[in-house]
Amino acid sequence: MAGRSITYITGSQLLSLKSRPNIAIVDVRDDERSSDGHIAGSLHVASDNFLEKLPSLVEATKGKDTLVFHCALSQVRGPKCARRFADYLADADIGDVKNIMVLERGYNGWESSGRPVCRCKEVPCKADHS
């Protein structure tokens, strides 16, 4: 199977889509998630151990057709993990995921634009996705 393309999504676009049950938001920041907050309902798979967590991420996102990855700025870790996820799906020929995206400007852009954040310590976050 050919590698899947990765596209970018704006914070405004994600805000309007994130309550849909077929979307998963994947936060790949490392330790800063616990102190800086996160997008409500997001999954957390730290970039420093992302490769070893890929099988559990596939399991956690079963039934989702869109995954949105982000880190602090979505310049390095978010896009890199999105590509690794896409390659893993292609190599294993698994998954229902049709869209793999990266959040433009990352979590920092999301938060600085006044979009809702959650500061719970639960993993995974069980806060309302909307």
Cα 37 to Cα 101: distance, rounded to the nearest angstrom = 21
Residue in 71, 81, 118, 120 annotated catalytic: 71
Query: Is 118 assigned a catalytic role?
Result: no
Catalytic (active-site) positions:
71
